[in-house]
Structure 1
Amino acid sequence: MRTTGTSPLVQQAHSIAELAGQRAEKAEAARTPDPDVVDALVAAGAARHFVPISLGGSGGTFAELKQAAVVIGARCPATAWCAVVAALMTRTANHLPPAGQRKLWAGGQDTLIAGGVMPRGVAAAVEGGWSLSGSWPAVSSSERADWILLSATVRATDGPEQRIFLVPATDARVDRTWDAVGMQATGSHTVAVEQVFVPDTMAFPASALTELETPPAGPDGRAVPLPAVNTFLFALPMLGAARGALRYWKELTGARLQGRPGAYDPVLAHYADVFARSSSEIDAAELLLDRIAHVIDTASAVTRADVARNQRDCAFAAELLLRAVDRLMGASGTSGHSTGSALQRLWRDIHTAGSHATLQFGPAAAQYTRTELMHTN
């Protein structure tokens, strides 16, 4: 395993962040990722980050992805979201049969994969594979992807089961439905397919992603189930957004405080409370996420207890980050609320990201309690 920070994605994160920040307003208006930004992400290795080294990929770590996503997210959380989703979809595609992996990466390891992992489609067995139909909302980067990973329900003799399918983007239709108030530049539109043939080699059981006892090995040969990592990845753009919001708030507020008297000053006391509390919450959230990255990068096996704790900590970190940015926004004055302000864009983005189902504290707390106190699944 490489030393954290040596990947091209980490090394180029600042230049990608700069470009993404410059193009953010345009990308929001278009409601799709800027093509030059996507090209920069792919060139830096976002798509190949979790492709196994044996197949020519980076075999990257979660800590490295976290470093890059936070830097990028501080300028454009939507771009950071697209980066982590691309990496997650690549890691998910590692569960394809060997022949499917070879086909997927036949044109190179920088294949960009988008995905709809909720089972919104149906598939029927046909000779040599499957006939897949369905409609999947909120597929990030759907207009920029080369392949799309889709989850569907299959009717089996012993009851319905869920399977994962990889289809070329050219076999899918993208309906431009993404109208969220935040994360507009993710282009998370609806993907639809109608009776598309998917060979057996381009499909696998969804249980391969969630099995906690004997999960298939990931790109580095270690068994890390999807539930241990997906919530972590979704929290990273939020951490980036919070870091960016704190920086912009400091710029706005610092100018106001210049020349304030040295004696007790209620205005300074107010801003001091906002700054200290919010920066502390952001630091605390990052420490939680760093712990998770260390566990999933280094543990010989990720246990059910690890998964429950990871999900709890990610949901709690999301709450900390939302609270911190809300406080900053509330103390930003009219300048922060300007339609042209980067602070209000980051505020919108972090709230949309934080609304993701996997980042809600209630379900995570219940699962953690069941695991730790009741010893149930």
Structure 2
Amino acid sequence: MADTRVPLPDGALGLAPVAAKHAADADQQRRLHPDVVQGVVAAGFARHFVPERWGGEAGGFADLLAAVATVGEGCTSAAWVAALTATVPRMAAHLPIAGQQEIWADGPDPMLVGALMPLGRAERAPGGWRLTGTWSFVSAVEFADWALVCARTPGEDGEPVARYFAVRRGEFRVQDTWFTVGMRGTGSNTLTVDDVFVPDRRVCTRAAVLDGECPGSVDGCTRVPLKAVNGLSFAAPVLGATRALLSGWADWVAPKIAGTGGGDPALADNATRHQVLARSAAEIDAAQLLLERTARVADERPVSALHAVRGGRDCAVAAELLLAAADRLFRAAGTSGQVEGSPFARAWRDVNVAVGHLVLRFDPAASAYAQRVLAER
């Protein structure tokens, strides 16, 4: 049978209008429409970083950035879910081979979600661990086949060790807790596990994922340290949303601007609008260039320690640039942009909520970058 798969950026082109069609409803319903979730999988996001041995693409970060931003132009929440649908399997590829085989036994497209902060606890049991915990803000958990959750475990030297545990649907419960100002369509509800046995084959250390330690892997994408690329998954949806906000604002303002010939009384107002357009477009372009460099470095491999922390820095700066552009465009749209149901308002809310994510905060990224630069002096 001929291979009908298309490159991820091409798949995203088909998904974007579907996501846009359901964006307003997703905002109201606090979850994506099932057609959008199915479209995320059909576009190739779930298999993008899955190892080739399991039928996946072992794909690249530049393709992921381009694809997620494209979807983000239609719906920020759909782009967020698409990004994480691609990213979490890359982390799961650090599990022992037997655990990977269990997850991808039926193909490379199960939907994995992540609860990646060590908020649970696990105790040793014969052949595995007894896991208990509650994790908030797990995007698209309602649709998940598997969840990768993080818990603290006893260490040999008395210090706790953070580990990732893969739990299948039916081993966790979902609580409807996602009530937010923006990014409402992500359905980032609460996941709970209550004394579930997880075999060793479905467990790996958090440190291995953070550092890209994946012994025996032949797929280079799994060896990229998480710290080098983590920000891409969260900044890419914002890039798409802000590009759409700029395009919508330009369409809105174009009929309002009269010619600027000599003596035109509208000259001053037009000049202000020209500056809004030009500066916002420049900030978006600058953010995109930073994100593209981060993705390109990850794809070229290996990623040096300095480039890893630079990636985190650049994603945080890109988020700040995108937020500045979104805020300026929203203010410049005036009252009409603030009307309930306005796409300006929804995009502005989404961008402001998304850039508040811990991974996109500049202070920790700046400290990590500065410490590495100064240590190499």
TM-score, with structure 1 as normaliser = 0.94
Q: 1:224 touches 1:296 (CA, 8 Å); kept in 2?
A: yes
2:74 counterpart SS class: coil
In structure 1, the residue matched to 2:57 is 58
- Out of 277, 285, 288, the position equivalent to 1:286 is 288
CA distance in structure 2 between the aligned counterparts of 1:113 and 1:45, rounded to whole angstroms: 13
Task: Please tell me whether residue 310 in structure 1 is matched to residue 311 in structure 2.
Answer: yes
Root mean square deviation of aligned Cα: 1.6
Q: 2:68 touches 2:237 (CA, 8 Å); kept in 1?
A: yes
CA distance in structure 1 between the aligned counterparts of 2:173 and 2:261, rounded to whole angstroms: 63
1:153 counterpart SS class: strand
Once the two structures are TM-superposed, the CA of residue 216 in structure 1 deviates from its matched residue by: 4.5
1:171 counterpart SS class: coil
CA distance in structure 2 between the aligned counterparts of 1:367 and 1:149, rounded to whole angstroms: 26
In structure 1, the residue matched to 2:198 is 198
CA distance in structure 2 between the aligned counterparts of 1:175 and 1:41, rounded to whole angstroms: 23
CA distance in structure 2 between the aligned counterparts of 1:55 and 1:227, rounded to whole angstroms: 25
Task: Please tell me whether residue 253 in structure 1 is matched to residue 253 in structure 2.
Answer: yes
Name the aligned partner's letter for residue 22 of structure 1. K
Percent sequence identity over aligned pairs: 44
CA gap of 1:261–1:229, structure 2 versus 1, over 3 A, is closer
1:339 counterpart SS class: coil
In structure 2, the residue matched to 1:275 is 277
Q: Which stretch shows the higher mean deviation, 217-226 or 177-186?
A: 217-226
In structure 1, the residue matched to 2:92 is 93
CA gap of 1:218–1:136, structure 2 versus 1, over 3 A, is farther
CA distance in structure 1 between the aligned counterparts of 2:9 and 2:211, rounded to whole angstroms: 30
Cα displacement string for residues 184-239 of structure 1 (whole angstroms, at most 9, x for unaligned residues): 00000110010011111111111111237x56476623521111111122110111
Name the aligned partner's letter for residue 340 of structure 2. T
Name the aligned partner's letter for residue 180 of structure 1. T
CA distance in structure 2 between the aligned counterparts of 1:18 and 1:356, rounded to whole angstroms: 26
Once the two structures are TM-superposed, the CA of residue 90 in structure 1 deviates from its matched residue by: 0.6
Identify unmatched segments of 5+ residues in structure 2: none
Q: Which stretch shows the higher mean deviation, 335-344 or 61-70?
A: 335-344
Name the aligned partner's letter for residue 272 of structure 2. H
Once the two structures are TM-superposed, the CA of residue 58 in structure 1 deviates from its matched residue by: 1.4
Alignment of 1:139-178 (within 5 A): 139-159=138-158, 160-178=160-178
Q: 1:142 touches 1:174 (CA, 8 Å); kept in 2?
A: yes
Once the two structures are TM-superposed, the CA of residue 14 in structure 1 deviates from its matched residue by: 2.3
Once the two structures are TM-superposed, the CA of residue 261 in structure 1 deviates from its matched residue by: 4.4
Name the aligned partner's letter for residue 184 of structure 1. R
In structure 2, the residue matched to 1:328 is 329
Q: 2:83 touches 2:233 (CA, 8 Å); kept in 1?
A: yes
CA distance in structure 1 between the aligned counterparts of 2:214 and 2:368, rounded to whole angstroms: 20
Q: 1:91 touches 1:219 (CA, 8 Å); kept in 2?
A: no
CA distance in structure 1 between the aligned counterparts of 2:220 and 2:9, rounded to whole angstroms: 22
In structure 1, the residue matched to 2:372 is 371
1:182 counterpart SS class: coil
In structure 2, the residue matched to 1:338 is 339
In structure 2, the residue matched to 1:117 is 116
Q: How many residues align?
A: 368
Once the two structures are TM-superposed, the CA of residue 135 in structure 1 deviates from its matched residue by: 0.3
CA distance in structure 1 between the aligned counterparts of 2:24 and 2:296, rounded to whole angstroms: 35
In structure 2, the residue matched to 1:361 is 362
Name the aligned partner's letter for residue 303 of structure 1. S
In structure 2, the residue matched to 1:224 is 224
Cα displacement string for residues 10-68 of structure 1 (whole angstroms, at most 9, x for unaligned residues): 11212211111111121122211211000011011110000112221112111111111
In structure 1, the residue matched to 2:39 is 40
In structure 1, the residue matched to 2:298 is 296
Q: 2:11 touches 2:44 (CA, 8 Å); kept in 1?
A: no
1:57 counterpart SS class: coil
In structure 2, the residue matched to 1:68 is 67
CA distance in structure 1 between the aligned counterparts of 2:188 and 2:326, rounded to whole angstroms: 23
Q: 2:76 touches 2:238 (CA, 8 Å); kept in 1?
A: yes
Name the aligned partner's letter for residue 145 of structure 2. D
Q: 2:68 touches 2:79 (CA, 8 Å); kept in 1?
A: yes
1:125 counterpart SS class: strand
CA distance in structure 2 between the aligned counterparts of 1:255 and 1:15, rounded to whole angstroms: 30
CA distance in structure 1 between the aligned counterparts of 2:259 and 2:283, rounded to whole angstroms: 26
TM-score, with structure 2 as normaliser = 0.94
Name the aligned partner's letter for residue 360 of structure 2. L
Name the aligned partner's letter for residue 373 of structure 1. L
In structure 2, the residue matched to 1:349 is 350
Q: 1:48 touches 1:109 (CA, 8 Å); kept in 2?
A: yes
